[in-house]
Amino acid sequence: MTNWPQQTTDLSVLLRGLRGAAPDVMKAFAGIAKAATVSKALDGKTKELIALGIAVAVRCDDCIAFHVKACVEQGATKEEISETLGMAIYMGAGPSVMYASHALDAFTQFEASKAKPSDKQRAARDDDEIRIE
């Protein structure tokens, strides 16, 4: 079983090393994080709940650890976390269903064009253009 508080402590050490190894990139990433988390129309707790939902949907345990910690620090309740997780489950599966339908449609179209009676294709040159007939 994962010790989530320890995981955030351990990851913080690793991230410090990454900041030393790639300071410009990590400084830019920190700037994005700072800009994204400023409370305007949404408060900090709501933003952390959104981040948690995304972390679950994209299956990032390390992100989950940090965003659950932040949710707790922002005062999120178990009920708020539970509803967020419900949405993450819904959204993690939903987009996959939609893109699976696209993939199946593409397969159907490619398979249909492969099975056309004019299996013997010949290339014809028309000026500088090559087309398949």
CATH number at residue 12: 1.20.1290.10
- For the cut 80, the answer to whether the pLDDT of residue 100 exceeds it is no
| Residue 131 domain flag | no
- The chain-wide mean pLDDT, for the chain, equals 82
Burial of 26 (0-12, 13-18, 19+ CB in 10 A): middle
Burial of 125 (0-12, 13-18, 19+ CB in 10 A): exposed
| Residue 122 domain flag | no
Domain of 91 in residue numbering reads as 4-113
Which of 1-10, 37-46, 58-67 ranks highest by mean pLDDT?
37-46
Q: Pick the residue with more confidence: 42 or 9?
A: 42
Residue 48 near residue 71 (C-beta atoms within 8 A): yes
Amino acid at residue number 24: D
Q: With b meaning 16 or more CB within 10 Å and e meaning fewer, what string describes 93-124?
A: eeeeeeeeeeeeeeeeeeeeeeeeeeeeeeee
| Residue 124 domain flag | no
Per residue in 26-55, pLDDT (tens digit) is: 999 999 999 999 999 999 999 999 999 998
| Residue 130 domain flag | no
Q: In the prediction, which pLDDT does 128 show?
A: 43
- For the cut 60, the answer to whether the pLDDT of residue 130 exceeds it is no
Residue 24 near residue 17 (C-beta atoms within 8 A): no
pTM: 0.72
- For the cut 50, the answer to whether the pLDDT of residue 67 exceeds it is yes
User: How many independent structural domains does the chain possess?
Assistant: 1
- For the cut 50, the answer to whether the pLDDT of residue 127 exceeds it is no
| Residue 127 domain flag | no
Residue 52 near residue 64 (C-beta atoms within 8 A): yes
- For the cut 80, the answer to whether the pLDDT of residue 91 exceeds it is yes
- For the cut 80, the answer to whether the pLDDT of residue 95 exceeds it is no
- Residues 122 and 133: their CA atoms lie apart, in Å, by 6
